[in-house]
């Protein structure tokens, strides 16, 4: 089983690529969705409450975590963000391991991981697809999201890499998702054909 990571900064088009890949019949692990799922589990809620309840007024509403308040707090406090990640990431990695096991007979699996390089996880994958867009497009996309503010956007950007070049040697495919969707799809298909040699399995015409 080949493990392929999909990464890129917020608003760079990772979801576009994962949707293309899913439609080609491959399994994709969505890290952001798994984080949200993990934060609905009672044990993690209790851990987060123990660490942050006294620091964030109104953190808990109807036995659920107010993710907007939590996010606003941790993204403006790097040390607190690290504490949250130490609670959440092990839960998400458990889900990843279950995903690998469940799909062990697949020729390839894909993992959407926003902070791949920041968390130094690149060595765990056979190939890496990286998405990117111009800063102007990125900002425009992200600020359209629910509960997103310019301040929060800037805080999130500070936690993500600018891809100075050190990471370039690990990237197997760079995709600018500002390009026409037909071009993007073709690049993805060509890449998969090349590394997997599975043209028939991809059901391409």
What range defines the domain where residue 41 resides? Answer: 34-105
The verdict on 21 and 6 lying in the same domain is yes
Q: What is the pLDDT of residue 147?
A: 77
Residues in the chain: 205
Residue where the block lists tokens 């509403």: 61
pLDDT at 128: 93
Report the pLDDT value the prediction gives residue 117, as an integer from 0 to 100: 84
How many domains does the chain fold into?
2
Q: Both 115 and 100 in a single domain?
A: no
Token pair for 131: 């998405």
- Domain assignment of residue 123, yes or no: yes
Same domain, 55 and 123: no
- Whether 120 is in a domain gets the answer yes
Q: Is the dihedral angle over the CA atoms 141, 146, 149, 152 positive or is it negative? A: negative
Residue 164, pLDDT score: 54
Indicate if 96 and 189 belong to the same structural domain.
Answer: no
d(CA 198, CA 202): 6
Q: What is the pLDDT of residue 32?
A: 87
**Pair (41, 116) in one structural domain:** no
CA 130, CA 123: separation in Å to the nearest integer?
15
Please list the ranges in the chain whose pLDDT falls under 70.
Answer: 161-167, 198-205
Q: What is the pLDDT of residues 117-167, one digit of tens each?
A: 888 888 889 999 999 999 899 999 999 988 788 888 887 777 776 665 556
Same domain? 130 vs 189: yes
CA distance 142 to 185: 22
Residues 101 and 114 in one domain: no
* Burial state string for 158-173 with b = 16 or more CB within 10 A and e = fewer than 16: ebbeebeeebeebbeb
Q: Which of 71, 88, 105 is the last residue of a domain?
A: 105
In this prediction, residue 162 carries a pLDDT of 66
**Are 121 and 183 contained in the same domain?**
yes
pTM for this prediction: 0.82
Tokens of 123: 């060595």
What H or E segment, with its residue span, contains residue 129? strand 127-132
CA distance 130 to 168: 10
**Which residues are CB-neighbours of 32 under 8 A, at least 6 positions away?**
112, 114
């Amino acid at each position: 089983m080949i493990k392929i990571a999909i990464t890129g900064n917020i608003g760079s088009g990772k979801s576009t690529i994962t949707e293309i890949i899913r439609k080609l019949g491959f399994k994709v692990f969505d890290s952001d969705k798994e984080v949200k799922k993990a934060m609905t589990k009672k044990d993690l809620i209790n851990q987060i409450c123990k660490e942050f309840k006294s620091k964030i007024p109104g953190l808990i509403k109807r036995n659920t975590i107010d993710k907007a308040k939590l996010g606003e707090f941790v993204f403006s406090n790097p040390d607190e963000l690290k504490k949250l990640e130490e609670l959440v990431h092990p839960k998400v990695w458990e889900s990843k391991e279950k995903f690998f096991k469940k799909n062990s007979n697949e020729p390839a699996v894909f993992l959407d991981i926003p902070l791949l390089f920041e968390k130094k996880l690149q060595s765990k994958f056979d190939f890496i697809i990286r998405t990117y867009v111009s800063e102007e497009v990125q900002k425009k996309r992200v600020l359209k999201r629910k509960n997103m503010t310019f301040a929060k956007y800037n805080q999130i950007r500070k936690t993500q890499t600018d891809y100075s070049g050190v990471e370039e040697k690990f990237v197997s495919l760079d995709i600018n998702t500002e390009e026409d969707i037909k071009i993007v799809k073709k690049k993805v298909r060509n890449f998969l054909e090349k590394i997997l040699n599975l043209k028939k399995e991809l059901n391409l015409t």
